[in-house]
Chains A and B, each alone.
Chain A
């Protein structure tokens, strides 16, 4: 009777310990994800700026046009593919967006990025071309 009780108590403690470790691991993982996300975010403006500086818009481009592109990179930062996920309806506008990314060719800042961040956020990501500085 006494022995049985002791065993149960031990099993309960073991389960608690496991749950605690699992929670700890989860928290650790989520902390890591958070830090990856924050790191990923810190690269965004540099990457956006590079594309902005290469984006030469056609005369037909207007505020309100939007083009969503899917970009695939390799860890060196080289662009391997650019696909239009959602076009603006103006083919010259979409073409100018694709040209902007392709003319960057190589995102140098990706090279120094932690591998985990690259795998999670930059192997495949999207560019939304959404001009605010053109006429209506």
Chain B
């Protein structure tokens, strides 16, 4: 095989005129992270947050960058005139971020610049401003801008996450619904209860969250406004009320109810509380997810004998099976571009998080997991969060969609489960 390739190549060289240009094909690369130097920003000493540290941590977690330790830096430039490319090249940096923070009467303004060390040019200069309590937002804005300029993908460092924490001590505040930055920082409790909380889901405009609460002694779906904390109970049916999912226009919820005997999928119009049954099968139908066009739902069903993922058209009710590999595929989530389904796949008794290309059906294992729980995809489609176990404790972990990067979020007091990554703020 290889021999014939070489032979062909020689032939083609002879066949072309002498001065025809040689083309060398590069078919593989490294998945080494790109070295980047984030210089501590001038004028940011003594602030309540270490901006350089937050930016470096963001870039490191993306898996695409390897930040250079500040103790290795030969100089700390704050503007273009002070940048000597040779120094940074010696450190092996491909990119360089410098900046300057100005305090204008309690309001901070950061001017920051990104340099391409190898080509010796400035890529951009940008500004971001905020108050003392927004210093982390300033840092994440820097990370987003740098990430997008170099990778071509919108950064998701400024987005938020929701999760449920179980303090494992009976009492009024045992279960907590927590809202935090995507890096786990600045967490705050949205709601707490002595009874379990499940399945938090963001509205697409990020103003509300829907979840399941057992506070009324049976599962019920609630909607809570993030700004005011105002809660509205949406369902109170006999049996299971679960797995709420917002329609793309935020007008309806898809959900699972077992009021008619066994779990079926319904849609609920939020304003009118008008209920519509979508599936009708003696098997269990659960975990609905909207497609981006709002015309279909994907869901899990054991109608074929084992849990598999199906798609149902809301207009016609036509059902199509999407997964065929293995005897257990559940907890589906569609990627924001609609091209990939992420799910929990069981193989030889072990749960894996896998991705499946919607068009080709090709499945790929991203990571092993200890819990059969829904993964949640970042709005830029580059990472996903999932609940797993570490040292007998429920923790959140993340894995990149190409499986190259894995990390755990800082451990919390209790068991952490049911993560939900927010959409991009509009």
Residues in A lying within 8 Å of B, measured CB to CB: 33-34, 37-38, 40-41, 44, 47-48, 51-60, 68, 70, 90-93, 95-100, 102-103, 120-122, 124-136
Contacts and interface: CB of A to CB of B under 8 A. Distances in A.
Contacts of B22: 40, 44, 121-122, 125-126
Nearest to B152: A92
A37 B10 contact: yes
B24 A133 contact: no
B190 interface: no
Given A48-B26, A92-B152, A127-B24, 19 more contacts: A37-B13, A37-B14, A51-B24, A52-B28, A53-B30, A54-B30, A55-B28, A56-B30, A59-B151, A59-B402, A93-B152, A99-B119, A103-B94, A120-B19, A125-B23, A127-B25, A128-B23, A131-B26, A133-B29
A124 B119 CA distance: 19
B9 interface: yes
Closest 5 CB pairs of A and B: A92-B152, A55-B29, A58-B151, A126-B23, A125-B22
Contact of B25 (A34, A70, A128): A128
Nearest to B13: A37
Given A59-B151, A136-B360, A125 B29 contact: no
Nearest to B148: A92
B173 to A, nearest CB: 39
Contact of B13 (A41, A93, A97): A41
Given A52-B29, A52-B30, A56-B29, A135 B153 contact: no
Nearest to B147: A59
A136 B21 CA distance: 30
Contact of B362 (A40, A54, A92, A136): A136
B64 interface: yes
A46 to B, nearest CB: 10
Nearest to A128: B25
A32 B119 CA distance: 38
Contacts of B29: 52, 55-57, 96, 100, 131, 133
Nearest to B402: A135
A21 B64 CA distance: 62
Interface in B145-194: 150-153
A92 to B, nearest CB: 3
Interface in B9-61: 9-10, 13-14, 18-19, 21-34
B95 to A, nearest CB: 9
A134 B402 contact: yes
B400 interface: yes
Given A90-B152, A95-B150, A120 B118 contact: no
Contacts of B119: 98-99, 102
B24 A131 contact: no
A52 B10 contact: no
Contacts of A37: 10, 13-14
Contact of A55 (B9, B26, B64, B360): B26
A41 B9 contact: yes
9 contacts: A37-B13, A56-B32, A56-B94, A57-B29, A57-B31, A100-B26, A125-B21, A130-B27, A133-B29
B27 A133 contact: yes
A136 to B, nearest CB: 6
Contact of A92 (B14, B151, B401): B151
